[in-house]
């Protein structure tokens, strides 16, 4: 009973309270600091390590456009919380912000709802083709572009080069190898806090990203190319079983993986407490920084697969969008063009570690020198597996988050959970058919 109450509180009441506080704070802000006609409000999440670079970029934009100002408003980094915030604001046609960062999975939903300004005129087709095709596809709705890919993400596997070498291992390409290496090293090191493999298992969007790529590494998929739900296929069952086994059977992942997100797994690995970590490419700059306990000891590769299958990482990333209810759309577009320029993307890549959405930057010498794995990453990014691209993605993800979590927490058998998820998702897809 108590556990249920706590779950209820943390799942529904606390986020609602948080959003309420956020909007109260912003109202107060607005009253004390009226936004002038020449000020654009840029809303984005708290991107790790990016504070100074954002300020630098804004100063540069203001220098190039005398009289214009940009004011940042910052949201928490959890994708679910940001999504709730935007849905609430945009449903009431809020004009409180002009430019905002959106997750690659939201563009179809926000476009269908009519919340995004058409930005096709910013870049002609010839320039659009310089970007990675998958996020451009996700940002295109009924032939028009509604957001500009700003940076691109794909899941990667970080490993401790020094430890693998010490035990004579080469980086794992299969899940079996990953398990064996993690077990051997953890046993051999006999170090109290050392975990074999960290991943994001909390009930949120990050879990879908992990599951999506493990499923694909087992040769399965959530939806197939013709849009059919494939959750009851054997590879999906095997993938979920493997993830579960990392905790309960192989014991290479700690139980706290079930409440882990990107940042706490990054910190644990940074402090030398894990052999392998699944995370996004942004972590690299943190690991290599001066003072990092793992500096020079980390390698990075694409996600493994079962033998004979091709591992594919989940496609992620963030897009620049213009609020359709903004009263300063022309200025807002100017800022989007500026921030998505090759120069800005390169600066953010070098200082923050975000990965450019413009493909030719992967040939940049400075970036290649600073981040030698960038060439391999290009291959991983180009092959990355998108989550289902549909305006109903948020509902689909919500169902998957509940069912995957129940499986991993060992409270629901895999076949039951996947049957239930399939029935619910099929229903949603039928609704989608009705909107076409």
**332 sits near ligand GLC (criterion: CB under 6 A):** no
Q: H-helix or E-strand containing 39?
A: strand 39-45
Min dist CB 288 to ligand GLC, Å, is 20
- What is the rounded distance in angstroms from the CA atom of residue 4 to the CA atom of residue 25? 30
**153 sits near ligand GLC (criterion: CB under 6 A):** yes
- Compare residues 194 and 384 and give the one whose CB is closer to ligand GLC: 384
* Residue matched to tokens 């991107």: 47
User: Can you tell me which of 57, 70, 81, 104 binds ligand GLC, judged by CB under 6 A?
Assistant: 104
Give me the phi and psi of 402, to 5 degrees please.
-65, -50
**281 sits near ligand GLC (criterion: CB under 6 A):** no
- Compare residues 132 and 318 and give the one whose CB is closer to ligand GLC: 318
Tell me the per-residue interface mask from 71 to 90 with ligand GLC, x by CB under 6 A, - otherwise.
Answer: --------x-----------
Residue among 301, 263, 260 nearest 283 (CA): 263
Angle CA 263–266–271, to nearest 5: 125
Min dist CB 315 to ligand GLC, Å, is 8
- Compare residues 109 and 205 and give the one whose CB is closer to ligand GLC: 205
* Residue matched to tokens 């095709």: 133
DSSP of 110-152: HHHHT-B---GGGS-HHHHTTB-HHHHHHHEETTEE--EEEEE
* Dihedral sign, Cα of residue 330, residue 127, residue 387, residue 424: positive
**103 sits near ligand GLC (criterion: CB under 6 A):** yes
- Compare residues 336 and 394 and give the one whose CB is closer to ligand GLC: 394
Tell me the per-residue interface mask from 186 to 215 with ligand GLC, x by CB under 6 A, - otherwise.
Answer: -------------------xx--x------
Min dist CB 379 to ligand GLC, Å, is 18
Query: For the CA atoms of 127, 131, 137, 139, what is the dihedral angle to 10 degrees?
Result: -80
User: Can you tell me which of 61, 276, 280, 286 binds ligand GLC, judged by CB under 6 A?
Assistant: 280
Number of residues in the chain: 436
Question: Residues interacting with ligand GLC, by CB under 6 A?
Answer: 79, 103-105, 153, 205-206, 209, 262, 280, 316-318
């Amino acid at each position: 009973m108590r556990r249920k109450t706590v779950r209820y509180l943390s799942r529904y009441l606390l986020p609602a309270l948080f959003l309420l506080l956020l909007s109260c704070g912003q109202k107060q802000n607005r009253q004390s600091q009226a936004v002038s006609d020449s000020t654009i409000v840029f809303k984005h999440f708290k991107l790790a390590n990016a504070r100074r670079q954002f300020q630098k970029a804004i100063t540069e934009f203001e220098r190039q456009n005398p009289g214009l100002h940009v004011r940042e408003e910052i949201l928490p980094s959890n994708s679910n919380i940001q999504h709730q915030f935007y849905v609430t604001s945009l449903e009431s046609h809020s004009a409180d912000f002009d430019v905002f960062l959106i997750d690659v999975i939201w563009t179809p939903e926000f476009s269908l709802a009519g919340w995004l300004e058409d930005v096709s005129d910013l870049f002609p087709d010839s320039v659009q083709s310089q970007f990675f095709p998958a996020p451009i596809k996700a940002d295109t709705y009924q032939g028009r572009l509604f957001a500009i890919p700003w940076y691109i993400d794909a899941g990667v596997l970080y490993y401790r080069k020094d430890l693998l070498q010490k035990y004579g291992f080469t980086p794992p390409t299969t899940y079996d190898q990953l398990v064996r290496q993690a077990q051997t090293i953890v046993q051999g090191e006999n170090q109290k806090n050392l975990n074999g493999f960290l991943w994001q298992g909390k009930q949120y969007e990050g879990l879908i990203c992990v599951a999506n790529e493990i499923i694909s590494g087992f040769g399965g998929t959530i939806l197939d190319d013709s849009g059919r739900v494939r959750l009851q296929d054997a590879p999906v069952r095997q993938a979920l079983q493997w993830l579960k086994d990392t905790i309960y059977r192989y014991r290479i992942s700690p139980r706290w993986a079930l409440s882990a997100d990107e940042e706490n797994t990054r910190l644990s690995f940074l402090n030398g407490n894990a052999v392998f970590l699944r995370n996004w490419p942004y972590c690299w700059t943190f690991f290599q920084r001066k003072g990092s306990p793992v500096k020079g000891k980390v390698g990075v590769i694409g996600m493994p697969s079962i033998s004979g299958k091709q591992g594919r990482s989940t496609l992620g990333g963030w897009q620049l969008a213009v609020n359709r209810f903004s009263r300063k759309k022309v200025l807002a577009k100017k800022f989007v063009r500026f921030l998505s320029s090759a120069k800005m993307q390169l600066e953010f890549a070098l200082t923050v570690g975000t990965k450019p959405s413009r493909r030719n930057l992967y040939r940049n010498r400075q970036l290649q020198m600073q981040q030698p794995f960038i060439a391999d990453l290009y291959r991983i990014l180009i092959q990355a597996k998108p989550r289902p691209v549909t305006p109903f993605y948020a509902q689909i993800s919500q169902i998957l988050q509940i069912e995957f979590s129940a499986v991993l927490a060992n409270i629901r058998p895999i076949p039951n959970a996947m049957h239930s998820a399939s029935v619910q998702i099929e229903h949603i897809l039928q609704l989608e058919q009705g909107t076409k």
